[in-house]
Chains A and B, each alone.
Chain A
Amino acid sequence: MKFRVRDLENYFSQKLNWKEISEILTDKAFESSYNNGVLEVDILANRYPDASSFVGLAQEIAALIESKIKYPIIKIKEGKEKINQFIKVKNKTAKTPFYFGRVILGVKNDKSPTWLKELVESYGFNSVNFIVDLSNFVMLEFGAPLHVFDLDKIKNKEIIIREAQKGEKFIALNNNFYSLQGGEILITDNEKILALAGIIGSKEAEVDLNTKNIFIEAAVFDPATIYKTSRSLKITTEASYRFERMVIPQRSLQALERLSFLIQKNIGGKVLKGRVFLGKIDKTKPIEIDLKRLEKFLGISVNFNQIKKFLSFLRIKLIKRKKDRIQVLVPEDRIDLKNEEDIYEEILRLYGVNNPKRVFEPPSHSSYVDESFTFNYKIKTYLKELGFSEVYGYNLISIKDYEFFKSILEENQKPIEFLNPLSENYTYFEFTLLPNLLKSCSLNQKRFKDLKIFRLEKVAYRENNEIKEFYNLCLLINKKEPFEILKELKTTLNYLLAKFNINSDIIFESKNCEFSDPFALGFLFDKEFLKIGLIKRKLLEVYDIDYNVGFMEINLNELKKVSTSYKRFEYWGDYPEITRDLSFYISKNYNTKKIIDSFEKLKIKNLKKTILLDIYFPHDFPDKKSLTFKFIFQSPEKTLTEEEVEKEFQKIKEFVSKTFEAQIR
Chain B
Amino acid sequence: MEKYIEKLENIFKQAKQEIEEIKNLKELEEWKIKYLGRKSYLANFSEILKNLDLEERKKVGEFYNQTKEKLEKIYHQQKEKLSEEEIEFDFYHPGNQVYYPTLTLISSNLKKIIEIFQNMGFIIIDAPLIVSEYENFDSLNMPKFHPAREMWDTIWLKEPRNYLLRTHTSAFQVPFLKKYKPPIRGIVPGKVFRFEATDSRHDFEFYQIEGISVSENSNFSHLRYIFEEFFDNYFEKKITLRFRPSYFPFTEPSIEVDISCVLCNQRGCSVCKFSGWLEVAGAGMIHPFVLKEAGIDSKKFQGYAFGTGLERLIMLKYQINDIRLLHSSDLRTNEISS
Contacts and interface: CB of A to CB of B under 8 A. Distances in A.
B94 interface: no
Given A44-B246, A45-B147, A389-B101, A369 B222 contact: no
A460 B329 contact: no
Nearest to A27: B244
B156 interface: yes
A594 interface: no
A444 B103 CA distance: 15
Contacts of A420: 154-156, 195
A31 B130 contact: no
Contact of B156 (A348, A381, A418): A418
Nearest to B144: A224
A94 B122 CA distance: 48
A358 interface: yes
Interface stretch (B9-17, B28-36, B68-76, B330-338): B330-338
A369 B114 contact: yes
A414 B158 CA distance: 11
Interface string A345-380: 100110001101111111111111110110001001
Contacts, number: 234
A548 to B, nearest CB: 19
A143 to B, nearest CB: 15
A46 B285 contact: no
B245 A353 contact: yes
Interface of B is mostly: mixed
Of B119, B157, B195, most A-chain CB atoms within 10 Å: B157
A618 interface: no
Nearest to B149: A227
B106 A297 contact: no
Interface in B234-288: 241-247, 249, 252-256, 285, 287-288
Given A389-B102, A440-B329, A443-B329, A358 B225 contact: yes
A28 interface: yes
Contact of A467 (B148, B163, B243, B334): B163
A391 B158 contact: no
B44 interface: no
A633 interface: no
Contacts of B256: 31
Contacts of B204: 396, 422, 426
A344 interface: yes
Contacts of A228: 145
Interface string A155-167: 0000000000000
A621 interface: no
B155 A422 contact: yes
Contacts of B130: 416, 429, 460, 467, 469
A462 B285 contact: no
A417 to B, nearest CB: 4
Contact of B107 (A368, A380, A452, A467): A380
Given A297-B302, A341-B287, A453-B331, A356 B126 contact: no
A389 B331 CA distance: 8
B155 A353 contact: no
A417 B129 contact: no
A390 B107 contact: yes
Interface string A398-423: 00000000000000001011111110
B48 interface: no
Given A223-B145, A354-B242, A419-B157, A387 B101 contact: yes
B104 A429 contact: no
Contact of B195 (A296, A422, A443): A422
B171 to A, nearest CB: 13
Contacts of B243: 353-354, 356
Nearest to B219: A299
B1 interface: no
A341 B121 contact: no
B220 interface: yes
B215 interface: yes
A401 to B, nearest CB: 14
B24 interface: no
Interface string A436-457: 1001100110011000110000
Nearest to A377: B111
A47 interface: yes
Contacts of B104: 390-392
A494 interface: no
A253 to B, nearest CB: 23
7 contacts: A45-B247, A341-B252, A356-B220, A360-B222, A367-B122, A384-B101, A467-B128
Interface of A: 26-31, 44-47, 223-225, 227-228, 244-245, 296-300, 339, 341-342, 344-345, 348-349, 353-354, 356-370, 372-373, 377, 380-381, 383-396, 414, 416-422, 426, 429, 436, 439-440, 443-444, 447-448, 452-453, 458, 460, 462, 465, 467, 469
The 5 lowest CB-CB distance pairs between A and B, nearest first, are: A363-B121, A299-B221, A440-B329, A345-B253, A44-B247
